[in-house]
Amino acid sequence: MATDYSTVIRRSGLRVTRPRLAVLAAVDAHPHAETETVLTTVREELPGVSRQAVYDVLHALTDAGLIRRIQPSGHVWLYETRIADNHHHLVCRVCGDVRDVDCAVGEAPCLQAATDHGFQIDEAEVIYWGVCPDCLAAEDVPGDSGRPDSSAH
């Protein structure tokens, strides 16, 4: 079933524009896309769209809660449309591939802090780091000495 991006945008209180439709569709088609991927995809449909227009739309869609922006340490911002849950991410240390991981415990916030310091916690962000199967199978994967020392964290 195709997503009606016009309705989604309109319900969020934003005006429906061709750049907003194209950016939302691009992020939906490319989970964990970085800005350059979104820009390239949008320009296939709207060749004249400026880089700034795409940045502005990404910002507006994020603020409206239609997309989520994540930034694993050492990476650029990545965008996704999976926003209705409190899922986590798995990142390959070698190639940078990012995958979704469902909550480890159930509903948000999925984890309980040892102390909440008076906060009402509603979300937990967890990033699992490792090496993906493709990189493990490749001959040029660095040994343990090439990976950050996990005991230092």
Known binding site for Zn(2+): residues? Answer: 92, 95, 132, 135
Binding site for Fe cation, residues? Answer: 107
Determine the Cα–Cα distance for residues 99 and 146; give it in Å rounded to an integer. Answer: 22
Binding site, residues? Answer: 92, 95, 107, 132, 135
Strand pairing class (68-70; 88-92): unpaired
Determine the Cα–Cα distance for residues 9 and 12; give it in Å rounded to an integer. Answer: 5
